[in-house]
Amino acid sequence: MCEPFERANAPFDPIIKARFGTTVCARVKAGLGIAIIDEFTVAHRAMPGIAIVPIAEDTPFQTYVAVSNDRALSRDADNVTVLLRAKMRAVVETGKS
Protein backbone atom coordinates (compact mmCIF):
# COMPACT_ATOMS: atom_id res chain seq x y z
CA MET A 1 0.00 0.00 0.00
CA CYS A 2 2.86 2.41 0.72
CA GLU A 3 4.73 1.64 -2.50
CA PRO A 4 3.23 4.39 -4.73
CA PHE A 5 3.94 6.97 -2.05
CA GLU A 6 7.53 5.78 -1.62
CA ARG A 7 8.14 5.95 -5.39
CA ALA A 8 6.89 9.54 -5.40
CA ASN A 9 8.84 10.46 -2.25
CA ALA A 10 5.51 11.50 -0.73
CA PRO A 11 4.88 11.23 2.99
CA PHE A 12 2.51 8.45 4.02
CA ASP A 13 1.70 7.76 7.64
CA PRO A 14 -1.64 5.98 8.07
CA ILE A 15 -3.21 6.62 11.44
CA ILE A 16 -5.81 3.86 11.30
CA LYS A 17 -5.56 0.48 9.62
CA ALA A 18 -8.47 -1.92 9.25
CA ARG A 19 -8.74 -5.34 7.69
CA PHE A 20 -12.12 -4.92 6.01
CA GLY A 21 -12.91 -2.35 3.33
CA THR A 22 -16.46 -1.91 4.56
CA THR A 23 -15.15 -0.92 7.99
CA VAL A 24 -12.84 1.64 6.40
CA CYS A 25 -15.66 3.05 4.25
CA ALA A 26 -17.89 3.41 7.30
CA ARG A 27 -15.16 5.41 9.03
CA VAL A 28 -14.77 7.64 5.97
CA LYS A 29 -18.53 8.20 5.84
CA ALA A 30 -18.43 9.13 9.54
CA GLY A 31 -15.96 11.91 8.67
CA LEU A 32 -12.81 10.30 10.07
CA GLY A 33 -10.71 11.08 6.99
CA ILE A 34 -9.89 9.46 3.69
CA ALA A 35 -8.96 5.86 2.90
CA ILE A 36 -7.07 3.77 0.41
CA ILE A 37 -9.05 0.62 -0.25
CA ASP A 38 -9.23 -2.22 -2.76
CA GLU A 39 -11.32 -1.99 -5.92
CA PHE A 40 -13.49 -4.93 -4.90
CA THR A 41 -14.90 -3.15 -1.86
CA VAL A 42 -16.29 -0.35 -4.02
CA ALA A 43 -16.99 -2.33 -7.20
CA HIS A 44 -20.73 -2.46 -6.55
CA ARG A 45 -20.87 1.31 -5.81
CA ALA A 46 -23.16 0.75 -2.83
CA MET A 47 -21.37 3.25 -0.62
CA PRO A 48 -23.66 6.31 -0.69
CA GLY A 49 -22.05 9.45 0.64
CA ILE A 50 -18.52 8.40 -0.33
CA ALA A 51 -16.67 9.69 -3.38
CA ILE A 52 -14.49 7.08 -5.10
CA VAL A 53 -11.33 8.42 -6.72
CA PRO A 54 -9.23 5.83 -8.60
CA ILE A 55 -5.47 5.72 -8.06
CA ALA A 56 -3.74 6.02 -11.43
CA GLU A 57 -0.65 3.95 -10.55
CA ASP A 58 -0.46 0.18 -10.37
CA THR A 59 -0.87 -0.75 -6.74
CA PRO A 60 -0.22 -4.19 -5.27
CA PHE A 61 -2.57 -5.59 -2.66
CA GLN A 62 -2.76 -8.66 -0.48
CA THR A 63 -5.08 -11.40 -1.62
CA TYR A 64 -6.64 -14.04 0.58
CA VAL A 65 -8.42 -17.32 0.02
CA ALA A 66 -11.27 -17.78 2.47
CA VAL A 67 -11.84 -21.38 3.50
CA SER A 68 -13.83 -23.15 6.17
CA ASN A 69 -12.01 -24.22 9.31
CA ASP A 70 -14.35 -27.18 9.56
CA ARG A 71 -13.70 -28.78 6.16
CA ALA A 72 -10.70 -29.76 4.12
CA LEU A 73 -10.37 -28.15 0.70
CA SER A 74 -11.71 -30.19 -2.17
CA ARG A 75 -9.22 -31.23 -4.82
CA ASP A 76 -10.74 -28.66 -7.21
CA ALA A 77 -10.55 -25.85 -4.66
CA ASP A 78 -6.95 -26.76 -3.89
CA ASN A 79 -6.10 -26.79 -7.62
CA VAL A 80 -7.71 -23.37 -8.15
CA THR A 81 -5.72 -21.96 -5.23
CA VAL A 82 -2.47 -23.37 -6.62
CA LEU A 83 -3.23 -21.99 -10.10
CA LEU A 84 -4.13 -18.55 -8.75
CA ARG A 85 -0.91 -18.37 -6.74
CA ALA A 86 1.11 -19.37 -9.81
CA LYS A 87 -0.63 -16.77 -11.97
CA MET A 88 -0.12 -14.05 -9.38
CA ARG A 89 3.57 -14.95 -9.03
CA ALA A 90 3.94 -14.78 -12.82
CA VAL A 91 2.29 -11.36 -12.92
CA VAL A 92 4.62 -10.06 -10.22
CA GLU A 93 7.70 -11.52 -11.91
CA THR A 94 6.88 -10.28 -15.41
CA GLY A 95 4.88 -7.19 -14.56
CA LYS A 96 2.14 -8.32 -16.99
CA SER A 97 -1.36 -9.59 -16.30
DSSP string covering 33-89: ------HHHHTT---TT------SS-----------SSSPPPHHHHHHHHHHHHHHH
The domains of the chain are located at: 1-60, 63-97
Is it the case that residue 92 has pLDDT exceeding 60? Answer: yes
pLDDT confidence bin for 95, thresholds 50/70/90: low
Cα separations in angstroms, 88 against 1, 50, 61: 17, 30, 11
Report pTM.
Answer: 0.54
